[in-house]
């Protein structure tokens, strides 16, 4: 067995590796020695294509005095993220929830002495049935969160992009440029993360002798995020999870797939890093107008017809972009495989000039191309010429052997050099009989006896142990290449991140172009003004979608109350406004004829109730919880969407709750958020504050032949309790939905009896 995990056969069969003596003709046959790989498997690119795509992240959090700090580490890529310290209001902790949804950690690490509402919020996520066991909560000793201990551990942190050959003082100055030690909660979280990795790395990486690698450190800020709760993400169908269609995978952890959602519509990126970045972009909508305008400019460039060619060329190249941090972590540990080098090859022609991927794949080791290193080329040429030299040597050695030996084999074995093998001439050859003239006995393997002859010694001196020298030489080249890559790792990671963002924006531009989206005008005013707005998911499915206008502002009224029959389109209308606002804050263009929007701080809703069984509470209690969150978190620059709140209890109680909640908003006057409310309580106007910021709207319809025909047009005006236009039309809608006529007629009689009783 050689050091590189290969061995040579100790003999060759009679028709492959022998030199024979024939009494009738002087004819010699000799062939190559065959090496058999022992442990290195053949590499299949397809089998490993997604190996680096499944990333596991750890998250440490620290929250004291209402200020939240956090740090995240990705096991596969060695990427560190730190959250800039930020206020996080109790008891909802929406900032933490937003961070959790962005990071999607497999473990949350907290101080064992942590108390308060944050612990409750974390446990609620971890113990939630929808978590499906994907995330676990781990408590560590309070000593790991000690500020001075955390600070000392951060001071010893080594990063690839730190200045080379710097002193301890210089490295400390560098660390202060990437970590703000005045943000105590962030220092607690980062130090605790580093200490946890130090203590548990062997279990996390399944490597007893390894240590954690830190290939990059980035800061993330949530100061510009548009806060959206998870119920709103699901209610607006921005994200939608569905079970895997395969019966074997259904219910398996991590097997759920994306259902019909806005993210599915936009998740057509060319690269895996682009797809992951798109999810991050949707999880972090921003109200930074400059960032949004930059994204809009890029989308506008690629929407132009003259940009089609360059966009196709860029997309072709983006397909080969991969997360290099994961690959380089393997390279730095000297455990990189051929397919990992090949991933880098697709991104850097420099490596293409050095690495021979075909030979690396077949031989199971790093192999250098010809022409890179002259000394290495000479060694490989010498190795290639061995066949002829061994053939000539075998002819000479056969003449020196006793005449009763009819054949011989010339072998090369790493570290043993060149050997002469002869087939045992008797079943029981004694040690004395094995001694041949001018031959040094080495060993016997099966039927072949191996010797070191004069010709073998000459080959050892003339050629040497060529194969191990080749392996050692290629290893030195690999180390030099690794050093070059690691020196430029920080820059390379930034370039990959920009490529992922470009992939996202190109994908968004394709969707915008396909469905004729328009660029929204961003302003600092408090306004949502949409002309001929459309629902993006309906627009992708139906061509005859009816557009509608809406204007929410201080002048036109920022509170819109919608009434109308069942199935008239109230929910779709409100959702489309929410989705248009969301897309605008993701930097996308929007499905409308024109749009003008001001920045939002929060987007909340009461749209759909989670499954009561999964939520461990009744449907009405879920509605109340969602409404409570909207009341507590809403600011002047928020958008609140409330769909038929109060329907889960009696009519009087539901009306009272809705009116009380609405008045809570209206009492804020100028600080009232944007409100979109749909209801069947037609007398709601009697119980709310009379203010010009409220505007009543209704969805138009006509009745033909006793059946409603919905026009899906939003019209101004309030529908009164006795107005036919404001009736719910539940019975005609039920009949149109397939309920048996006898049941509908019975319901009509019950309704008439109730009217008489009143």
> Strand pairing of 79-87 and 67-74?
antiparallel
Q: What is the pLDDT confidence band of residue 381, given thresholds at 50, 70 and 90?
A: confident
What average pLDDT score do residues 569-589 get? 95
Q: What's the token pair of residue 752?
A: 């008439």
What average pLDDT score do residues 530-555 get? 92
Q: What's the token pair of residue 528?
A: 């949502």
What average pLDDT score do residues 582-589 get? 96
Higher pLDDT, 633 or 391: 633
pLDDT > 70: percent of the chain: 81
pLDDT value of residue 11: 35
Task: Name every residue whose Cβ is closer than 8 Å to that of residue 526 and which is 6 or more positions away in sequence.
Answer: 553, 554, 558, 598, 636, 637, 674
Higher pLDDT, 360 or 633: 633
Higher pLDDT, 273 or 292: 292
What average pLDDT score do residues 21-26 get? 38
Residue 13 has pLDDT above 70, yes or no: no
Residue 74 and residue 53 in contact, taking contact as beta carbons nearer than 8 Å: no
pLDDT value of residue 282: 94
Element (H, E) at 612: helix 612-615
Higher pLDDT, 78 or 70: 70
DSSP string, 547-586: PEEEEEETTTBSEEEEE--TTSSHHHHHHHHHHHHHHHHH
pLDDT value of residue 334: 66
What average pLDDT score do residues 130-140 get? 78
pLDDT value of residue 250: 56
Element (H, E) at 82: strand 79-87
pTM of the full predicted structure? 0.71
pLDDT value of residue 577: 96
Residue 151 has pLDDT above 50, yes or no: yes
pLDDT value of residue 51: 41
pLDDT value of residue 430: 77
pLDDT value of residue 49: 42
Residue 150 and residue 195 in contact, taking contact as beta carbons nearer than 8 Å: yes
Q: Which of 180-194, 312-326, 371-385 has the lowest mean pLDDT?
A: 371-385
**Fold match, 57-223 / 521-727:** no
Buried b vs exposed e over 227-245: b needs ≥16 C-beta within 10 Å? bbbbbbbbbbbbbbeeeee
Residue 379 has pLDDT above 90, yes or no: no
pLDDT value of residue 20: 46
pLDDT > 90: percent of the chain: 30
Q: What is the pLDDT confidence band of residue 344, given thresholds at 50, 70 and 90?
A: low
C-alpha 281/C-alpha 222 separation (Å) is 12
Residue 29 and residue 387 in contact, taking contact as beta carbons nearer than 8 Å: no
Sign of CA dihedral 519, 522, 525, 527: positive
What average pLDDT score do residues 616-645 get? 86
Q: Which of 58-62, 208-212, 509-513 has the lowest mean pLDDT?
A: 208-212
Task: Name every residue whose Cβ is closer than 8 Å to that of residue 290 and which is 6 or more positions away in sequence.
Answer: none
Residue 316 has pLDDT above 90, yes or no: no
What distances in angstroms separate CA 418 from CA 11, 346, 438, 569, one per listed residue?
A: 13, 40, 15, 86
Q: What is the pLDDT confidence band of residue 576, given thresholds at 50, 70 and 90?
A: very high
Residue 14 has pLDDT above 80, yes or no: no
Residue 281 has pLDDT above 80, yes or no: yes
What distances in angstroms separate CA 587 from CA 95, 291, 518, 582, one per listed residue?
A: 21, 8, 12, 9
DSSP string, 438-505: T-EEEEEETTEEEEE-HHHHHHHHHT-SHHHHHHHHHHHHHHHHHHHHHHTHHHHHHHHHHHHHHHHH
Q: Which of 11-15, 451-455, 542-546, 657-661 has the lowest mean pLDDT?
A: 11-15
Write the pLDDT tens digit of every residue in 88-125.
Answer: 888 788 889 889 988 889 999 998 887 778 888 888 88
Task: Name every residue whose Cβ is closer than 8 Å to that of residue 297 and which is 6 or more positions away in sequence.
Answer: none
Residue 588 has pLDDT above 90, yes or no: yes
Task: Please write down the HEC assignment for all residues of 140-191.
Answer: ECHHHHCHHHHHHHHHCCCCCCCCCCCCHHHHHHHHHHHCCCCCHHHHHHHH
pLDDT value of residue 194: 93
Is 521-727 in CATH node 3.40.50.300? yes
> Strand pairing of 594-597 and 527-533?
antiparallel
pLDDT value of residue 386: 65
Q: How far is CA 371 from the centre of its chain?
A: 39
Burial class (CB in 10 A: 0-12, 13-18, 19+), 733: middle
Q: What is the pLDDT confidence band of residue 248, given thresholds at 50, 70 and 90?
A: low
Higher pLDDT, 600 or 373: 600
Q: What's the token pair of residue 122?
A: 């974390």
DSSP string, 20-38: E--SS----------EEES
What average pLDDT score do residues 42-51 get? 40
Write the pLDDT tens digit of every residue in 406-462.
Answer: 788 877 777 777 788 887 877 777 787 788 887 888 888 877 888 888 878 777 777
Q: Which of 424-433, 596-605, 642-651 has the lowest mean pLDDT?
A: 424-433
C-alpha 542/C-alpha 247 separation (Å) is 31
- Map out the domains of the chain as residue ranges: 57-223, 521-727
Q: What is the pLDDT confidence band of residue 625, given thresholds at 50, 70 and 90?
A: confident
CATH code: domain 57-223 is 3.30.420.110
Q: What is the pLDDT confidence band of residue 546, given thresholds at 50, 70 and 90?
A: very high
pLDDT value of residue 349: 58
């Amino acid at each position: 067995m050689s050091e590189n995990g290969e061995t040579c056969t100790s003999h060759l069969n009679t028709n492959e590796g022998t030199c024979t003596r024939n009494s009738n003709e002087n004819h010699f046959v000799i062939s190559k020695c065959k090496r058999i790989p022992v442990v290195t498997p053949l590499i299949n690119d397809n089998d490993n294509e997604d190996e680096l795509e499944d990333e596991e992240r750890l998250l440490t959090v620290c929250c004291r005095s209402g200020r939240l700090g956090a740090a995240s580490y990705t096991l596969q890529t060695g990427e560190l993220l730190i959250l800039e310290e930020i206020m996080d209001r109790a008891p909802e902790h929406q900032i933490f929830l937003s961070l959790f949804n962005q990071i999607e950690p497999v473990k949350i690490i907290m101080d064992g002495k942590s108390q308060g509402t944050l612990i409750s919020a974390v446990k609620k996520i971890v113990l939630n049935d929808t978590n499906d066991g994907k995330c676990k909560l781990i408590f560590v000793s309070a000593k790991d969160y000690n500020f001075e201990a955390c600070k000392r551990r951060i001071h010893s942190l080594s990063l690839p992009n730190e200045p080379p050959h710097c002193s301890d003082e210089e490295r400390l100055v560098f660390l202060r440029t990437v970590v703000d030690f005045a943000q105590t909660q962030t220092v607690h979280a980062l130090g605790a993360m580093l200490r946890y990795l130090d203590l548990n790395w062997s279990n996390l990486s399944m490597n007893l002798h390894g240590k954690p690698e830190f290939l990059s450190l980035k800061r993330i800020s949530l100061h510009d995020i548009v806060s959206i709760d998870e119920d709103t993400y699901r209610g607006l169908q921005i994200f939608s999870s569905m079970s895997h269609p395969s019966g074997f995978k259904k219910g398996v952890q991590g097997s759920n797939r994306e259902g019909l959602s806005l993210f599915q519509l936009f998740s057509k990126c060319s690269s895996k890093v682009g797809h992951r970045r798109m999810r991050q972009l949707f999880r972090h909508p921003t109200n930074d107008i400059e960032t949004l305008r930059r994204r809009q400019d890029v989308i506008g460039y690629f929407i132009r017809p003259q940009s089609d060619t360059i966009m196709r060329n860029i997309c072709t190249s983006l397909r080969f972009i991969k997360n290099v941090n994961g690959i380089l972590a393997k390279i730095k540990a000297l455990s990189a495989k051929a397919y990992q080098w090949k991933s880098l090859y697709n991104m850097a022609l420099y490596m293409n000039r050095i690495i021979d991927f075909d030979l690396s794949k077949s031989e199971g080791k790093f192999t250098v191309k010809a022409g890179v290193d002259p000394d290495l080329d000479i060694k490989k040429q010498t190795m290639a010429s061995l066949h002829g030299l061994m053939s000539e040597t075998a002819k000479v050695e056969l003449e020196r052997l006793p005449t009763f030996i009819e054949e011989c084999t010339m072998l090369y074995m790493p570290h043993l050099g060149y050997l002469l093998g002869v087939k045992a001439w008797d079943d029981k050859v004694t040690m004395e009989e094995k001694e041949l003239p001018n031959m040094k006995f080495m060993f016997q393997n099966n039927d072949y006896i191996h010797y070191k002859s004069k010709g073998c010694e000459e080959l050892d001196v003339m050629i040497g142990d060529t194969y191990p020298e080749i392996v050692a030489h290629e290893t030195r080249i690999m180390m030099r290449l690794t050093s070059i890559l690691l020196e430029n790792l920080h820059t390379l990671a930034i370039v990959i991140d920009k490529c992922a963002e470009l992939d996202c924006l190109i994908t968004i531009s394709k969707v915008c172009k396909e469905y004729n989206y328009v660029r929204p005008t961003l302003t600092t005013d408090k306004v949502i003004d949409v002309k001929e707005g459309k629902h993006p998911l309906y627009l992708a499915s139906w061509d005859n979608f009816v557009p509608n206008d809406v204007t929410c502002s201080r002048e036109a009224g920022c509170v819109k109350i919608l009434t109308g029959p069942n199935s008239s389109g109230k929910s779709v209308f409100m959702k489309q406004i929410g989705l248009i606002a969301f897309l605008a804050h993701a930097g996308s263009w929007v499905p409308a004829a024109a749009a003008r929007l001001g920045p939002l701080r929060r987007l909340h809703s009461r749209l759909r109730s989670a499954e009561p069984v999964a939520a461990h509470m009744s449907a009405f209690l879920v509605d109340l919880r969602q409404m409570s969150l909207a009341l507590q978190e809403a600011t002047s620059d928020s958008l609140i969407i409330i769909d038929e709140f109060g329907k889960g209890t009696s009519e009087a109680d539901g009306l009272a709750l809705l009116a009380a909640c609405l008045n809570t908003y209206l009492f804020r006057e100028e600080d009232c958020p944007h409100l979109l409310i749909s209801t069947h309580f037609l007398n709601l106007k009697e119980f709310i504050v009379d203010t010009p910021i409220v505007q009543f709207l209704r969805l138009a319809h006509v009745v033909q032949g006793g059946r409603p025909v919905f026009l899906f047009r939003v019209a101004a005006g309030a529908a009164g309790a006795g107005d036919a236009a404001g009736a719910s039309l539940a019975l005609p809608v039920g009949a149109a939905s397939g309920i048996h006529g006898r049941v509908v007629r019975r319901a009509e009689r019950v309704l008439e009896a109730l009217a008489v009783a009143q």
